[in-house]
Amino acid sequence: MRPKNLVKEEAIRSIALQIISEEGLENLSMQKLAKAANISPRTIYIKYENKEDLLIKLFIEEVLGNYEKAILENFDPKMAFADGMKRLWLNTFHYLKNNKPAFSLIRYGKSSPLLNKAFQEKNIQQGAFFAPIHTFLKTNVQTGLIADLPHDVLSALLFSPIQDLVAEYLDHLNRPLQIITEEVILTSCEIVIKGILK
């Protein structure tokens, strides 16, 4: 029997992300995607049940899966707090700034009810994304190093700014000066650390 063409499978995913990034999720259609990937619309339906299935798998498996892997690289929950934070911030910065299409879908994950629901269900049913970060924060709360707040609150305080900083970096590439450098990221990270320490 004829095997699946993995090149085409990868093309579907990467071109879908590209369209979402350039034209928006609301302008992605199956026919447009097929044409851009130089395949028949039917081929998409061999690999995905329907449009919603494609979007959810793209978001959960491809985008969030790779994002998690990239962020946790060389990170260990047992690291010293400041070191761990800087590792996570730098990993986030480098991964997102080099993967704009993936970042686009990540941001839609917070706006789109479909993707948001998929994320929450996955997070409940099969173990949370970013579990090592969970452990990391919990440990540092228990040792009394950082403020004792619920995980979701800590997460917002410690990681929201880095996502917005990368967004600024990517949205303003047309600016004359690139103000968001690795040095600025590290300075910002230190400011966040200073705030959360008891």
Interface residue list for DNA (CB under 7 A) = 1-5, 8, 28-32, 34, 38-47, 50-52
Q: Which two tokens stand for residue 156?
A: 């917002």
Can you tell me the distance from the alpha carbon of 130 to that of 69, in angstroms, rounded to the nearest whole number?
Answer: 9
Question: CB of residue 116 vs its own copies: minimum separation in angstroms?
Answer: 7
Contacted by 182, from DNA, its own copies, none: CB < 5 to 8 Å by type: none
Question: CB of residue 39 vs its own copies: minimum separation in angstroms?
Answer: 22
Contacted by 78, from its own copies, DNA, none: CB < 5 to 8 Å by type: none
Contacted by 43, from its own copies, DNA, none: CB < 5 to 8 Å by type: DNA
Question: CB of residue 105 vs its own copies: minimum separation in angstroms?
Answer: 9
Residues near its own copies (CB under 8 A): 21-26, 104, 107-108, 110-114, 116, 120, 147, 149-150, 152-153, 155-157, 160-161, 163-165, 167-168, 171, 179-180, 184, 187-188, 191-196
